[in-house]
Amino acid sequence: MAEQNYVELRHVNKKYKDFQASDDINFGIGKGKLIGLLGPSGSGKTTILRMLAGLEHADSGEIIIDGRVVNDVPASERGIGFVFQNYALFRYMTVYDNIAFGLDVKKWKKADIRRRVDELVELVGLKGFEKRYPNQLSGGQRQRVAFARALAPNPELLLLDEPFAAIDAKVRQELRSWLREMITRVGITSIFVTHDQDEAIEVADEIIITNHGHIEQAGTPIEIYSQPKTPFVTEFMGSPTRISNITSFHGYEELGEGLHAVVRPEHVSVTKKTEQSRFSSSVEEGVVERVMFRGREVELHVRVHDVLLVANRRLEEASITEGERVNVFIYQVFAFPAGENGTQNVNIVENANIETEKLFYI
Ligand SMILES: Nc1ncnc2c1ncn2[C@@H]1O[C@H](COP(=O)(O)OP(=O)(O)OP(=O)(O)O)[C@@H](O)[C@H]1O
């Protein structure tokens, strides 16, 4: 994380009655960064956003924005823009009036408002739509208006709560890249909440992973994806297969006995018996149980001993059919000690392969 943080949370706690919604939250965000708060439903993402916005009060700890502790600063004085998932546009106001609303409240001069709204309509690509009402816009266009409205008073910090949740898949994809570009162009520090890992990976400079009210890991998308630090993150990212209670890994005796392993599809190579494998040794035999088309790839479910692994294979490679015997090679797994979840370190085991039932070696 950047040395000089624009936003910082220090030992922040929040309880709803007996429920610990935020549990000793600590993080810092550099100016101009776009941060994704990612975690399962109920993990405390929105609570963090609401405390930053001033819509919720922390029980303890400090919330710092631009070097100032803002715990007791009212929401309206924090200089924050907010975008919600359900657009929250005023239905009986035009696009122009929706964007101008906050500026009117702040008693900006009419001419200044006009200039600012024109600028924003241009920025979000909605020139010519100023007189339309929200119900005359598509979901994506409404969300652009919401974005323009949040940016209108020149906030220093932008908070977005599941901004694309209510939008269908194709438009959501477009809006993601659009948002990334807009935020880079405007240069505003932004935090968005999502439970969609692809969205976080694609859009965010840094990702903060929440689970049961605490932070599991914070880092760049590539760090989070390639070097998960906790069992939770390991299983949350990618679409992995978990193999429980492995006896041990040969060559990795220091990890001890009684391990869980997590295997990502991209770390499993499946080749036809007739194909030359890149991996000459340590190849196991498996049986393909399912073949599913996934656009440019096929997803294969392959049984090796009593483990069902998921693997991807490019469509242009020779096709594999259900019931076929194949060669399987696993070139990386994440391993951690079985037992209590949460605190153990995750180890990367390379060139792992299943030798006998649930026993791996390199
Ligand atoms: N006002 C409240 N009173 C009581 N419990 C609450 C309140 N607000 C949130 N909670 C609880 O706190 C937990 C965290 O909620 P939060 O909305 O922060 O999670 P989230 O990660 O944003 O989830 P989602 O993705 O479903 O929005 C949830 O279990 C929720 O039920």
Ligand 1 in reach of 149 Cβ (< 6 A)? no
Q: Is the CB of 260 under 6 A from ligand 1?
A: no
Burial of 110 (0-12, 13-18, 19+ CB in 10 A): exposed
Which of 271, 260, 281 minimizes the C-alpha distance to 328? Answer: 271
Per-residue pLDDT, 292: 94
- The answer to whether 153 touches 106, Cβ cutoff 8 Å, is yes
Does any ligand 1 atom lie closer than 6 A to the CB of residue 7?
Answer: no
Give DSSP secondary structure letters for 165-204: TTS-HHHHHHHHHHHHHHHHHHT-EEEEEES-HHHHHHH-
**pLDDT confidence of 282, banded at 50, 70, 90?**
low
The predicted pLDDT at position 175 comes to 84
ipTM of predicted assembly, 2 dp: 0.93
Distance between CA atoms of residues 286 and 263, nearest Å:
15
Q: Quick one: average pLDDT of 187-192?
A: 94
Report CA(145)–ligand 1 centroid distance (Å): 27
- Out of 3.30.565.40, 2.40.50.100, 3.30.930.10, 2.60.120.650, the CATH code matching 233-361 is 2.40.50.100
- How many other C-beta atoms lie within 10 A of the C-beta of residue 136? 12
Average of pLDDT values for 194-222?
Answer: 94
Q: Is 19 in the pocket of ligand 1 (CB under 6 A)?
A: yes
Instruction: Judge whether 119 and 188 are in contact, CB under 8 Å.
Output: no
> Which pair of tokens denotes residue 170?
């194709």
Measured distance CA(197)–CA(209) in Å, rounded: 10
Report residue 280's pLDDT band, with 50, 70 and 90 as the boundaries.
low
What does the radius of gyration of the chain's CA atoms come to, in whole angstroms? Answer: 25
Q: How far apart are CA 146 and CA 149, in angstroms?
A: 5
Cα–ligand 1 centroid distance for 336 (angstroms): 29
DSSP single-letter state for residue 249: B
**What is the CA 200 to chain-centroid distance, rounded?**
3
According to the CATH classification, is domain 5-228 in 3.40.190.290?
Answer: no
Strands 332-337 and 259-263, bridge-based pairing:
antiparallel
Model pLDDT, residue 9: 97
What distance in Å separates the CA atoms of residue 270 and residue 330, rounded to the nearest whole number?
9
Least confident of 2-16, 35-49, 104-118, 243-257: 243-257
How confident is the model over 119-178, as pLDDT tens digits?
999 988 999 999 999 999 988 898 899 999 999 999 999 999 988 877 787 888 888 888
Q: Is 211 in the pocket of ligand 1 (CB under 6 A)?
A: no
Distance 57 CA to ligand 1 centre (A): 14
- Please give the structure tokens belonging to residue 191: 């935090």
For the chain, the average pLDDT equals 87
3-state secondary structure of 140: helix
CA of 288 to the centre of ligand 1 (A): 42
Answer whether residue 247 shows pLDDT above 70: no
Query: What's the pLDDT score for residue 335?
Result: 85
Q: Are strands 353-356 and 284-294 parallel, antiparallel or unpaired?
A: unpaired
d(CA 115, CA 360) in angstroms, rounded, equals: 66
Which of 9, 18, 37, 47 has the most ligand 1 atoms within 8 A of CB, as the residue to mutate? Answer: 47
d(CA 81, CA 156): 8
Q: How far is the CA of 52 from the centre of ligand 1 (A)?
A: 15
Cα dihedral 31/33/38/41 (nearest 10): 60
For ligand 1, whether the C-beta of 195 sits within 6 Å is yes
Q: Residue count of the chain, please give it.
A: 362
- 62: Cβ–Cβ under 8 A, 6 or more apart, which residues? 8, 9, 10, 11, 12, 69, 71
Q: How far apart are CA 15 and CA 177, in angstroms?
A: 36
- Grouping H, G, I as helix, E, B as strand and the rest as coil, residue 314 is strand
Q: Which among 16, 48, 56, 59 is the best mutation to test ligand 1's pocket, defined by most ligand atoms within 8 Å of the CB?
A: 16
For ligand 1, whether the C-beta of 18 sits within 6 Å is: no
Closest approach atom of ligand 1 to CA 193: 22
Distance 23 CA to ligand 1 centre (A): 13
Q: What are phi and psi of 201, to 5 degrees?
A: -65, -40
Give the domain ranges of the chain: 5-228, 233-361
CA distance 139 to 121: 16
Confirm or reject: Cβ of 37 under 6 Å from ligand 1. Answer: no
- Using one digit for the tens of pLDDT, what is the confidence trace for 303-342? 987 788 999 998 888 889 999 999 888 878 888 887 665 5
CA distances to 26, 179, 277 from 44, in Å: 13, 23, 46
Ligand 1 center from residue 213 Cα (angstroms) = 9
